[in-house]
Amino acid sequence: MLESKPDIRALILVVEDEALVRMMLVDVLDDAGFKVMEAAHADEALHILAAVSDVQVVVTDVEMPRGSINGFELARRVREDRQDVGVVIASGRVTPATGELPEGAHFVEKPVRSERLLGLIRALLC
């Protein structure tokens, strides 16, 4: 059975420093019917979020050496400033400590299965 695409194309911001991983995530989300913007690090993501009001979900990596903050701090700032924006944090090396995830944020281990990512995003959009 083919999976239905969202009626309204939600805008997802992918924040990932590894270009190939970022491209794969963008492709998965685009194929699922979402609009997608991308950022290579948290600082770039914060600029996008300040300029684009209709981002509905941020999918972020944890470790991004080029930015001034990591994905956990980005998630905290997003949830403080834009509580209407859902957050999915992914990492293959770092697991969040107790209390490290802001309320409403979800953590997944890399490699992230496409079905798991899409399920989390759809749940955040409901």
Domain parsing of the chain, residue ranges: 11-125
| Calpha distance 42→126 (Å, rounded) | 25
pLDDT for the residue numbered 8: 66
Query: Of 25, 5, 6, nearest to 14 (Cα)?
Result: 25
Cα–Cα distance list, 94 to 31, 99, 107 (Å): 28, 14, 10
Q: What is the CATH number of domain 11-125?
A: 3.40.50.2300
Quote the CA–CA distance of 121 and 126 in Å, as a whole number: 9
Rounded distance between C-alpha atoms, residue 111 and residue 83, angstroms: 27
Q: What is the pLDDT along the chain (126 residues), one digit of tens a residue?
A: 445 554 569 999 999 999 999 999 999 999 999 999 999 999 999 999 999 999 999 999 999 999 999 999 999 999 999 999 999 999 999 888 888 899 889 999 999 999 999 999 999 998
pTM tops 0.75, yes or no: yes
